Structures are given as structure tokens and as C-alpha cells.
Structure 1
Amino acid sequence: MLGGILNKKHKIKGTVVLMPKNVLDFNAITSIPDGGIGGAVGGIVGGVANVIGGVVDAATAFLGRNVSLQLISATQTHGEKGKVGKEEYLNSHLPTLPTLGARQDAFSIYFEWDVNFGIPGAFYIRNFKTDEFFLVSLTLEDIPNHGTIHFVCNSWTYLPSATPAALVKYREEELETLRGDGTGKRREFERVYDYDVYNDLGNPDGGDSRPILGGSSNYSYPRRVRTGRDRTKKDPKSETPGEVYVPRDENFGHLKSSDFLVYALKSLSQSVIPLLKSAIFELKVTSSEFKSFDDVRSLYEGGIKLPTDILSQISPLPALKEIFRTDGENTLQFPPPHVIRVSKSAWMTDDEFAREMIAGVNPNVIRRLQEFPPKSTLDPTVYGDHTSTITKEQLEINMDGVTLEEALGTNRLFILDYHDAFIPYLRMINDLPTAKAYATRTIVFLKHDGSLKPLVIELSKPHPGGDNLGAVSKALLPATEGVESTIWLLAKAHVIVNDSGYHQLISHWLYTHAVIEPFSIATNRHLSVLHPIYKLLYPHYRDTININGLARKSLINAGGIIEQAFLPGKYSMEISSVVYKNWVFTDQALPADLLKRGLAVEDPSAPHGLRLVIEDYPYAADGLEIWDAIKTWVKDYVSLYYPTDASLKQDTELQAWWKEVVEKGHGDLKDKPWWPKMQTIEDLITSCSIIIWIASALHAAVNFGQYPYGGYIVNRPTLSRRFIPEPGTKEYDEMVKDPQKAYLQTITPKYETIIDIAVIEILSRHASDEIYLWERDNPNWTTDSKAIQALKKFGSKLTEIEGRITARNSDPSLKSRHSPVDLPYTLLLRSSEEGLTFRGIPNSISI
């Protein structure tokens, strides 16, 4: 009802809905939901209480003079800022409303009304207790001459130029709070977003230093959230190891089972791994080596027997109950990986080896071979000549009568090339206690039925006389019988060890997790929660800063899980830094990536304007449909707010955001000419589309297949410990006698295998309340009906794409989807159930 003229004593009723911390806690691990950050204390549209504390009674803890609100006028000013009303306190706890979730509480509040106040457009909220809560909404009833006002965090949208004048200063002040002043140690309750280099991976004072990544020409890297911890004594540029700071808005709010998964990673690194290490190496309750492939499969079919005291320390950890299956026989057991659910041996075939290059967990490295022999991009003055030694004759043996020239001319040769990525570090890697590895090149041939078959594998080592003398290389050909078949299987294992390390460090960590964090930081620092581009991008940052912080603490740190279980060891992050120097933001768009790798050619008559060179390329075929849907959604949304290029150029927040992304967030690459200039609407559409693609579909493609393929370690080994034995040696004779034992003594041993598959099982799982591409966790994420309709259109398009992907997976003529292991390509199906599903595209990099 509309009110009339009221006296100054008239009261306006409000209803405050909040979520107490105690309903969110799981061992003090909490996160904030999309659409849930208003401006925080002192900001716009409410927010998070800016203090920290313990567990409280949700129904009563905030009554009395514990939580106050002050309305801010959007139409009447006091000086340059909107007029601020009288401070009022929560009045009473309301019975649970039908519209409230089970974890939300409603409270009444009454505001003294002044006829000269105008229309409320924001409010301050203060918490005087030491107990955190998350603010959901505020509803004001019967505002005179206006009616009801409903504040849902993040629901209102204004460009800076369209913000009510009375709220402009509050908008600016909130962003200043989020930026901080760049000094001091960040505290747990703060909401400050700032940048720093990766200077917290090593422990110089403990004798375990690592190079600082970022800020130097030698070690370029994206920036991460600044923590401001104390510096180490031995290296004043390095931070001491410890708890990682995560801005409070990033880890407080939703009861998300990914928090349980994060907790599982913490428990694994801090508790379980030391116990398993003692069980295998100290107690010797189990051999440190697998004896046969059946022995490996016992991890899933029978489990590993552990002492009762060790298992009893693992079992009570709630987050690990789904990861480690235990029973009365004191066994530790994993779920069977998808790759061996139908056939226990199909992984060994050449068809499967080649198929996983385009439909496996790392499908975006293979490229078309456009010159022969393959050449190197390494500096010849430093590394000598690294041109491939593979010959024309070696290739043509298995090319079905096609000549090399014909195959190159008809785009039928492709290469998986890890030579240049590993050679600069290979001498150092091979000096590690157990590592013995090659740098590999693998050439495959496109058959008439659309499938791929390997032709040759080149294995290279640095020249013993010095790096400047090039490489010592040998080429191996496929074989199906005798000792040659064992040698060929070992050669494929060395290729996959290269692929596994590159996948985890580059395709997964660097190209998704690490490169997205600077965009998230800059978005929070320069785009108000009221900004339309903030609303577009924020869902795609959910939990990323949180999971990246955990990775620096337990996964990619010195001595962490990655260094223990993957080939490059302590050089892992250095290698990713070298690769980052050649990262190009605009090439991350899937069409640009495919064109650059020669896997597509421009064709205006073809779908998406591209014709795939390998027609049956599941990652590309499905991905292009997802890419087009994302870009169309972004274009539809952006056009609602930017009618002209001039309107974009005049957006001060947007320009500040992009300038800082380039100059600070990715500052080591700031002078590269390929950065969009953010001067046109197309610049904005392309940039936002790339950000969303990386955070959603690209991450899904390289993450959620990790356990289905890599959970069976013989299919995707992560370590190589022996070179291929030479004739006349004891190792060669042993290989002839027992091929399986020789294979298992070459690849990842038992302890590292258990670590690896435990981690990738956690990483491959979906949370129970995962938010998938196009979904929002709050239907009131915006009040703009046209934006809501555009999002619905996006969702409908994705549903149609799911249907087409399912149809392709049912087409028996598509060999890459009907493989020897019987695994259709499902990683780019948008939706998923909870758990280990081998499908689903979350909005963000949340695990």
C-alpha cells in the first residue's frame, strides 16, 4: 500500500534475513555465495558483518543492541553523500517464513521515518558481537509514496554514470575498502583484494627454497591474492609458510560440499599422507612396489590392508569417508576408474593411446604437423640443434600406403610434442633421486575411418657433452609381439608421463586456476557489486581464490603433493613459469586455439565458421557449441548496458578494471600487443567470453576426467624412474622375463600412486550444491527482466547442446566416442549429479 504524508514519528517496518555462521561451519571452513555480497559494512546494499567469532544460537544471538542498520537515501543528500537515517536495531526473531531456506533466520526491525528522507537506496549494517553472519536480504514495507523495497544482495544494477547521485560516494568508498592500501598483514576477517607474486611456495628458513614466480623476466607469472605475511629470515623477498589469507567475502556464506572436498584435501596432505608413508616405508605393512597389473587393480577390487591404529586415524575424518572406503578387514579401497570398468586391458591399445589425445583429460595440446621433420623453438645458441631425428621412412611404414607428402598435404599427420617443454629442465629432473625421463615427440596418423593411430615416438635426452650440443634421440615404432611390444608400451608410458606433468602444471593449474585469479582480484577491486559486468563475471570466480590458496599451501608448494607425485618434482612450478611467458589471452578463445594448433580452418559455410581438420574431435566439436553459446549470452547481456563504443569508453570502473588486469594482474605480460584495448563493445564481449570459457568449460574439460582416466595409474603414470633398458643389461633380461614388472618398476610406485589417485579423486568430484553453467544460486540476482530473459535463453541453448552431445555419443561411426575402453566423451555435458560423474560444467573453478 502506498503511504501518505506521515509525521516524523511514523515507523517503517523492515524484515532482515540473515544466515548465522554456526549453520555454515564445517571445522571452520566457510565460503560466500554468488549474489550474496552486497557492499559489506558501510557499503551498498548491505553485506557481511566485519568481525569474527564463535558459534551462537541463530534465533537469539543478534537481538538487543547487537546488530544495527541505518538507511541511506538515494534521492536526498547531505553534502555529497546520500542522507543517513537514524541507527536502529533488530527487534524480534520472526517465525520461520515459508520462503526462507532452512538455514536462514528472519528478524523484524523498525525505522523512524522522516518525510524529508526520500527513497532508501542503500544501508549501513553493523555487527557489535563477535559472531559472524551473512546478510541475505532486507525488505522495507509501505515506504510513503513508493511502496515496498526489497534489497537482495547484488540484485540492483547501475553503470557508474547511472548511479543515483546520493549513492555515488558510497559506491566509491566501498571499492576503496576492497582495494585496501597495499600494506600490512591481512587478517582473517578482512575483505581486501590486492596482488602479490608467488613468493610463498618455498621455505627458505627450512632449507627448502623455491624461485619467486612473478615480477621478473626470468620467472613470469600471474599474480595471486596478497597476504602480507612475515618475510623469511634467509630471503626477505619470500613469505613465511602459514595459513593463507582469503578475503572474507570469498570463504563465508554457502554451506557447500566443496568445502568438504577442500577439507578432504587439507586432511589428506596434513594427516593421511604422513600415515600412509609410515605404513609403506617404515612399518613395511605393504610392498612399496606393485608386482603386477592385478596388484594395481587390487586398489579398487580388494583394497590395501593397513594396521588398525593407522586406519582408525583416517576413518573418523568425515570428509574422507567418500574418498577412502574402509571396512572391518582394515582395508583402504578406491572406486574403480571409468577407464577399466568395461575392459581391464583396452588401455594398452594403440587406438586408446591416440584417442586420449583428442578425447581424454588433456585434449588441447595435440597439433597438426605442418612441417617435416619437426623443428624446435629452443634457442640454438644455448641448446644446439633440436630438430627431430624421425625419418620419412619410419613414418611411412604404418601409413597405409600414403606418402609423407600426401599426408602433409591432406592434413592427416598430427604431433603431440613435449620436447621443448621438458628439455631445458630434463638434465636437472634426471638428477633427482628417482626420476629418469625423456622429452617426447609422438606423431599420429588420421585414418580413413576418422580415428588416429600412432606412427612413431621419439625419446630425447640432453647430450652428455653439454646442452649446447643438442639432444640424443631415438625413434621407436609400434610393435605388437615379443620384447619390442614391451619396449613400445614403455615408450608410450614415457609419453604419458610427459603428458601427465604438462597437463597438471600447465593445462590445468596454469591455464585455468592461475590465470583466472588476477581477473577475480581486479573485478572485486574496480567493479562495484552494482556494475553489470560484475554481475556477469562474479559467478565464474566462485571459490577460485579459496581453492588456489589451498593449492599454494598443500599442492604446489615445496614438498607438496604435486612435487611428490609428478615428474618435474621441485622444478614443477618453474616449468609452468617458463610456459606462461608464451601465454596469449586471446588465444584462449576456443576458435583461436584450434586455428593456432592447425586443428581447424576458417570456413564461413561451416558451423561456427570453422571446419575441424579432425572431424571426430570430441573436445573441439562439443566445445565449439559451448563457446558459441557463451559468446552469444555475453553479447546479449552486454548489449543491454552498452549501446555504443563511446558508452564503454566512458565507463570509469570498467576502464580501471581492465587497465589493472593487464598492468598488475598479468603485469609480466603487460607490454604484449595482443591484449584487447577495451575500446569497443567487441573487446568487452570477447574478453568476458574468454574469462567465462576458461573458468567453466575449459576447466571442466581438463579437470573432471582426472580420476576416470588417471585413477588407474598404469594408464596415466605420473612418474618415470627408469630409462628403457638396453640389450645386454640385467634390466633388459628382466624386462624380457617379466614385462609387467618392468613396466611397473618404470612408472609411479605404490606410495606416490596412492597419493596421486586420492588427490585426483577429490579434484574430480562435484559438490552436492554445485552451480553449473548458466545457473544462479539466487533467482533475484538482478532486477533487470531483459537480463533474466537473456540468461534463460542461454540455459535453453545449453540444454539443446546437451542433447546433441548425447546424440553424437550414441553414433557408432564416431570412433573417438566409441573407444576400446567404451568411454563416450561426456566432459562437456553441462549438468551433473553430485560425486564422481565424469561430466558437468560448473560456473567456476571451485575445486
Structure 2
Amino acid sequence: MDYKVTVATGTSEYSGTNNYIYVTLVGENGESEKTLLDNPGLDFCRGAVDQYTVKSSAPLGRLLLVKLEKQRYWVEDNWFCRYVVVEPPGAGGVLTFPCYRWLVGNVKLEIREGAAKRGSEDSLPQELNHRKAELQERQNTYRWQAWAPGIPKCIDAKTEADLPQDMRFDNEKRSDFESSLHYALIELSLKKLVIRFGKSWNDLDDFKRIFWKLRSPIAEYTMEHWKEDWFFAFQFLNGSNPRMIHQVQKLPPGFRVTGDMVQIFLKPNTTLEKEMQDGNVYLVDHAIIESLPTNVIKNQRQHIAAPFCLLYEHPDQGLIPIAIQLEQKPRRHTPVFLPSDPPLAWLLAKMWVRHAEFQVFQVLSHLLRTHLVVEVFCVATMRQLPAVHPVYKLLTPHLRYTLEINCRARTQLIAKDGIFKRVVSSGGDGLLVLAQREYKVLTYRSLQPKLDFQDRGVSKLKKYFYRDNTLMIWDAIQRYVTGIVSLYYPSDSEVLEDTELQAWIKDVTEEGFANVPKLGMPHELTTKTDLITLLTVVIFTTTAQHAATNNGQFDWCAWVPNTPCTMRCPPPTDKDAIDMQLIMDTLPDISQSCVEMAITWHLGRAQPDAIPMGQYVEDYFTEPEAKDLIAEFQKDLRDIDESIQEQNKGVELPYLYLCPSRIENSITV
């Protein structure tokens, strides 16, 4: 019996191999001959799709597995296999075996036929044994580790070099990531050198001297408009930290603002009390960073404030700030800053709020609530779901590169001697304390945008483009996930009885999120609705939520006075004593400013190898019904993209971070 076999090699650099490759076909009635696939060095080139004939002395029956084996030929040469296609003799049709794995060393690998199956749908010993063996191997490879107490667990890997090859960056990605960082730091060094031979910071215009090549249209717009109150307020809605603003019916106990103080900023014939009751007053409260341990940089203690910022949706002016207090527990001389104060006093108060925003969005909104939350799902997926499982097939494209970028963050960004320690006021001990505080209050509910907007009372807030775009994308993901789940889980009972799925959610909640006391995520999935909601949260977090916090960070941080990474003097207590010299002494110095600009450019720039949201370059699903659902999802995303682009035509300050074409399919940076 002759079986036609097609083998596809990866398309990225160094995917090909000159080693020996063998294949064996496994059917319900037996196995084929172990067949050497042609001459080493002649086939399996990068991007190659090679065809062979594999013989069997008797019909194999229904094909179950393809066994691949790689053996060294002269030198070790890793190989990336995309897929294997088998055409049995006769009219048996064509079967696809997705692989998308690296074969490293002298290794054997078994891959399943592409149809997604729950464990209960397998009955043959070969299928059941393969599921069990695959998970045992994965659980030995992907182990939990507590990186620090009080935060979710992560992958057991000291550096990215300890990760399995399948979780590593491709060579092109690694080269680009490291060269872009090198480029940014070289420009940083040149700027510092030029400025060192010139003058130091004397006034705010001096910050223009570090713009050079690293710039963007919104960064330049920020430079021109950052002092304006409407622009300051706009960033709470559509900047890199759009999740903090919430409606208030009454003021927090420690906030000393009174109605008389802000009366002049409200519409005529009203009061602060009435406007709060009417739902027009909002608050941004940075209590989470109160009394945070502060960093020491160049033997100088840095400073952090935990401000209140009160905002009012004026019928004519839109959202504007009307009061700022820089301490949660005011002392006798703690001032409340107002727009009617001396201009430099009001400006410095806003800078302190933006400085608090830098700490919260970088450490909490970005790193912890996207990167590290998703890492839990990534590790649990690799440990508990075999490659043939429908949920594995659904999630794995959205987990690409996340483990490596997180390992790099732990070793390069937030390590004891990392970039945060060098230039950020919460670097060092403060960063861990901040993370631990966040995870004490993190809830599953807050990861679901519809509930989050409802809880924050922002459903009617005007020009909240992040909210509007988020809801469109959430609905599209939910429709797609509902289709996939309904395809493989006809009723709730199949969800409840899926032992692999239950082991997965148990690993997520009892291992990964063991140190998150108020999370409220179910430890057991009992209905399709439970499963749909959870999977929608995961995909939304890996795509849109990460894009919303990551992709604009250079736009809002490149002009350093708009979002300073650190403050070198304590918060002011005397409005009349604030002058330009105090502001310049407080803002980051030349070196800190250059590093902030370089790193936010490096992390926020568009990635050359980015896979846009909903584009599945690897065909894990092979069934026509699943492919139809993917096509519908992609159409939904195109429609959303066109709608957002249309809304932003001719807009002076566009909000395009949540265009699906600009959102990556996974967290890769």
C-alpha cells in the first residue's frame, strides 16, 4: 500500500535541516514502514513542501498518528515542521496533521490528525496513550515557579534561554528585538553625549533636544498640547491607562476639596453635590501607590505621590480636571491644587498625577494585568491540554512568544538591576510591593470590560474611544468563541465532563492564581457560558487589552514632562513657592529622560513580524466548520477596523490603537 506524504518545513530563518528525517504512519490496524525521507541536505529547506511515498505491507485503516524522527547527520541541525499531509491509497481523502513544532536533537515526535477532539471522543488505545504521554512530557517541561510571593506564578525558567524551543522567538524576531534596543540605546548615548557638552535642563523646551529621530505624530502633538487641561483629561480616557477613571457620587474621606473651591469651573447655576448626583463628576484615585518604597538612583532618593484627581464633564468644554490633591492622608499644610492656581503650580500638580500614571500603567495595567495574567493561562494550557484539544487549538495562536517576552521582562526590565531600577521611581523594592498590592484586589470581573465599565460608571462618558472600540472587539471575540465552543461542546454536560478542561481551569486558579485572594474566577467550568466568558477574557487580554496599554506608550511618554518616569524632589506643599527651577529639579534628569524615551519607543513600536489580530497563519483547526467561524471572525474584525478608521478620518488626535489591523494576535513585546 502506497501512501502519499507531504511534509512542510517552516518559513522562518533556520527552520530547515540537513539531518535525517524519518516518518512512520500509525493507523488503527498497524504501522507503516519507518521511511527515510530522501537525502539529508537536499530536502527540508526553509519553506519547502516536499512529497514522498511511504509504503505499508497492509492497509492501516483509519490513520491516527504520524511519527516523525530526526537524527543527526554530521552536525546537529534543528528542524521546524509545519504540518504533514497524508493521502491514503484509494478514495480515502486527504488528512492533515498539524505540527508547528521544533524537533531539537535526536528526537521522536508523534502528531495527531487535525480534527479537534475532547478526551471522551477518543476510544482507541493509541489515541488515549498519545494524549496521556503528551501531557506527561509537557508537565515535565512546563513547570510552575513562584517568582515572588503574593503574585501569580510563572514558568520555571531563569532566562529565556531556559525555555523550550517552541516558546522562543524566531531568529528574525530575536534579531529585530535586540537590534532595535541596541539602536535606541545608541541614539540615547549620542543624545547624552551632545547634551553633556552643552547645557543641562534649564527649562521645559530643553526636552526637545532629545526628540531627534525617535518621534511619532502623536508624540509631537503631545509636546505641543500637554499643558492643556482637556488634553490632560483625554489621556485618562484614551491614553495608555484608560481603566482608572470612575464616576463618583461622593468624595473620598481624605480628599479635602469642597464645592466652593471648584464652583467656578462648573456650569452656571449648579453645585458640585448636584453634579455628582447627576453623574457628571469623575475621579482618578492612585491610592494603590500610597507610601510605596521609593527607588534610589545615583545615590539620590526618588519620590512618589498618590494623588486624587477630580474631573468634571462640562457641557461645553468636555472632560476637564478641576482639583488635584497629592496626598491620600492630608496633613495640615497639604494643598488642593486648582486650575485657578498660579500656572506653574497647577502644571506641576498635573505632572505629579501623570507620574503616578506612569507607575500604574507600566507595572499594573500593562505588565501585571496583561503579560503576567496571560502567562498563567499559557503555562496551564501547555501543561493540561493536548494539541488535539479544541481549546488548545483556539488559544495557542494567542500565546505565541508570551513566555519569552515575560522572561525578558523579569531579567531585563524589572530585575533588581534592570531598567526600572535605573530610571523609575518605583523601581527596586517598590515595584514588587506595588505588584503585591494589585494582586490583593485583582478580580476576574475587572478583566471583563462590560462589567468593568458598568462598575466604574463610565458607560455614558463622552469621547471614551477606548470603551467604544473595546466593546466592539469584545463582542466580535465572544461571537467567535461562542461558535467554536458550540461546535465542540453541544451542551453544558460536555463542558463539565471534560476532565482535561477541568484540570486546566484547576491549574489556572489553584496553581497560577493561588496568591490572588479576591480573583473570583471559577475553579470548575460547569456551563458553556462559563467557558465562553473565560476564553473571551483570555483572547481579549492577549490582543486588545495589551494593545491599549502597550502600543501608545511612546506617544504619551516620549515628551517626558507629560509622563515622567521618576520625580527627584518631593511633592510641593506651597503653591506660591513653585517656580521653573523647582520643576526642572523635580523632573527626570538627562539620562533618565533619554532612557524613558528609548525604552518606550523600543516596546511601543510596531513589530515587523507582527501577526494581526485574528490572522491565523498556522492552521490548527482543519475542520471546515471551524474554518468558516474563523472567516466570520476575520470579517467582523475587518468591519470594526473600517469603522474605527472612518471615525478617525480628519480627526486631529486620532485613537487607532484598537484597530484590529494594529493589534497583535498575542503578547510579543
Q: Are positions 1:396 and 2:313 aligned together?
A: no
Root-mean-square deviation (CA), in Å? 3.0
The DSSP-based 3-state class of the residue aligned with 2:515 is helix
CA drift at 1:174: 0.8
Normalising by structure 1, report the TM-score: 0.72
Q: Flag the 1:619–1:671 CA change in 2: closer, same or farther, 3 A.
A: closer
Q: Flag the 1:534–1:335 CA change in 2: closer, same or farther, 3 A.
A: same
8 Å contact 1:556–1:562 — kept in the other structure?
A: yes
Q: Are positions 1:247 and 2:164 aligned together?
A: yes
What letter matches 2:423 in structure 1? A
The DSSP-based 3-state class of the residue aligned with 1:336 is coil
Q: Which residue of 1 aligns with 2:611?
A: 771
CA drift at 1:686: 0.4
What letter matches 1:393 in structure 2? D
Q: Select which of 14, 17, 23 maps to 1:69.
A: 23
Q: Which residue of 2 aligns with 1:656?
A: 503
1:237-276 alignment, distance < 5 Å: 244-251=161-168, 254=170, 256-257=172-173, 259-264=174-179, 267=182, 276=189
Q: Flag the 1:745–1:289 CA change in 2: closer, same or farther, 3 A.
A: farther
Query: 2:626 and 2:392 mapped to 1: Cα distance?
Result: 13
Q: Which residue of 2 aligns with 1:686?
A: 533
Q: By percentage of residues, which structure has more helix? A: 2
Q: Which residue of 2 aligns with 1:158?
A: 117
Q: Are positions 1:477 and 2:330 aligned together?
A: no
Q: Select which of 195, 200, 204 maps to 2:144.
A: 195
What letter matches 2:79 in structure 1? F
Q: Select which of 125, 128, 132 maps to 2:71.
A: 128
Q: When the two structures are aligned, how many residues end up with a matched partner?
A: 650
CA drift at 1:478: 0.8
8 Å contact 1:435–1:567 — kept in the other structure?
A: yes
Q: Are positions 1:844 and 2:666 aligned together?
A: yes
Q: Are positions 1:411 and 2:279 aligned together?
A: yes
Q: Which residue of 2 aligns with 1:330?
A: none
Q: Are positions 1:12 and 2:37 aligned together?
A: no
Q: Which residue of 1 aligns with 2:206?
A: 295
Q: Flag the 1:768–1:794 CA change in 2: closer, same or farther, 3 A.
A: same
Q: Flag the 1:131–1:670 CA change in 2: closer, same or farther, 3 A.
A: farther
The DSSP-based 3-state class of the residue aligned with 2:68 is strand
Query: 1:529 and 1:696 mapped to 2: Cα distance?
Result: 22
Q: Select which of 41, 53, 56 maps to 1:113.
A: 56
8 Å contact 1:369–1:415 — kept in the other structure?
A: yes
> Percentage identity across aligned positions?
24
Q: Select which of 143, 157, 173 maps to 2:89.
A: 143
Query: 2:518 and 2:265 mapped to 1: Cα distance?
Result: 46
Q: Which residue of 2 aligns with 1:366?
A: 245
8 Å contact 1:93–1:106 — kept in the other structure?
A: no
Q: Are positions 1:435 and 2:296 aligned together?
A: no
Unaligned runs of 5+ in 1: 1-9, 25-57, 77-82, 181-191, 199-212, 215-219, 230-241, 301-332, 376-386, 464-469, 600-611, 812-817, 832-839
8 Å contact 1:196–1:223 — kept in the other structure?
A: yes
8 Å contact 1:633–1:790 — kept in the other structure?
A: yes
Q: Select which of 334, 348, 360 maps to 1:490.
A: 348
Unaligned runs of 5+ in 2: 101-113
Q: Flag the 1:19–1:336 CA change in 2: closer, same or farther, 3 A.
A: closer
8 Å contact 1:222–1:514 — kept in the other structure?
A: yes
CA drift at 1:724: 5.3
1:438-449 alignment, distance < 5 Å: 438-449=305-316
8 Å contact 1:93–1:107 — kept in the other structure?
A: no
C-alpha distance after superposition, 1:480-516 (max 9, x if no partner): 7xxx101111111111000111110000000000111
Q: Flag the 1:788–1:472 CA change in 2: closer, same or farther, 3 A.
A: farther
8 Å contact 1:71–1:120 — kept in the other structure?
A: yes
Please identify, of 696-705 and 143-152, the stretch whose mean Cα deviation from structure 2 is larger: 143-152
Q: Which residue of 2 aligns with 1:23?
A: 14
1:297-376 alignment, distance < 5 Å: 297-300=208-211, 333-342=212-221, 344-372=223-251, 374-375=252-253
8 Å contact 2:82–2:98 — kept in the other structure?
A: yes
Q: Which residue of 2 aligns with 1:226?
A: 156
What letter matches 2:261 in structure 1? Q
C-alpha distance after superposition, 1:738-757 (max 9, x if no partner): x3x54332111111111111
Q: Select which of 642, 645, 653 maps to 1:823.
A: 653
Q: Are positions 1:425 and 2:324 aligned together?
A: no
Query: 1:442 and 1:288 mapped to 2: Cα distance?
Result: 35
Please identify, of 260-269 and 402-411, the stretch whose mean Cα deviation from structure 2 is larger: 260-269
Q: Select which of 73, 85, 88 maps to 2:35.
A: 88
8 Å contact 2:308–2:328 — kept in the other structure?
A: no
